Amino acid sequence: MKGLKQFLLRGNVVDLAVGVVIGAAFGAAVTALVRDLLTPLISALIKAPDFSGLSFAFNGSKFMYRDFFNALISFVIIAAAVYFFVVLPVNALIARMRQAPTPADPTTKKCPECLSEIPIDARRCAFCTSSIVSPMERVS
């Protein structure tokens, strides 16, 4: 019993339960939107007074496809909402977190004579003892 209690009170299970409940409520709201607003609007646009009568007959059987049409529109709206309000923001957040850190300023440079790595502020190479002239000293 203790293990079951631990499992149920873990954050992931609670988050999933909240997500399912919110998703079901959102699905019901979108279904009502499609059934009560969009379907009558579409039927008015195609000048069919009763959109619920959409059907076709095949071999004496009548196929009513209004509910399928409503479910399809609901699916597209829910998929678009999930994509634009969940997937895109999460992808943008992940991309921002994965950006390569900006490289640190260099601390060394190459000696123009022997090509050894020397400190960036050095005036003389520690390996070949040649004098290193900085670009600012050349100008003046």
Torsion sign, CA atoms 137, 138, 139, 140: positive
**Residues 52 and 8 grouped into a single domain:** yes
**Residues 75 and 136 grouped into a single domain:** no
pLDDT of 65 over the 70 cut: yes
Q: SS3 for the chain, per residue? A: CHHHHHHHCCHHHHHHHHHHHHHHHHHHHHHHHHHHHHHHHHHHHCCCCCHHHCEEEECCEEEECHHHHHHHHHHHHHHHHHHHHHHHHHHHHHHHHCCCCCCCCCCEEECCCCCCEEECCCCECCCCCCECCCHHHHHC
Structural domain count of the chain: 2
- Measuring CA to CA, which residue among 100, 102, 124 is closest to residue 111? 124
Q: How much is the pLDDT for 137?
A: 58
pLDDT of 118 over the 60 cut: yes
* Residue 20 or residue 39, greater confidence: 20
74, with CB counted inside 10 A (0-12, 13-18, 19+), is: buried
Provide the CATH number for the domain around residue 87: 1.10.1200.120
Q: How much is the pLDDT for 42?
A: 76
Amino acid at 115: L
- Residues 6+ positions from 118 with CB-CB distance below 8 Å: 108, 109, 110, 111, 125, 126, 127, 132
Highest mean pLDDT among 10-14, 65-69, 117-121: 117-121
Domain that holds residue 114: 104-140
| Model pTM above 0.85 | no
Q: How confident is the model at residue 117 (pLDDT cuts 50, 70, 90)?
A: very high
Query: Per residue in 93-107, pLDDT tens?
Result: 888 888 777 778 888
Q: How much is the pLDDT for 139?
A: 53
Judge whether 39 and 70 are in contact, CB under 8 Å. yes
**Residues 90 and 111 grouped into a single domain:** no
**Residues 108 and 93 grouped into a single domain:** no
Of the listed ranges 1-10, 44-53, 57-66, 122-131, the least confidently predicted one is 44-53
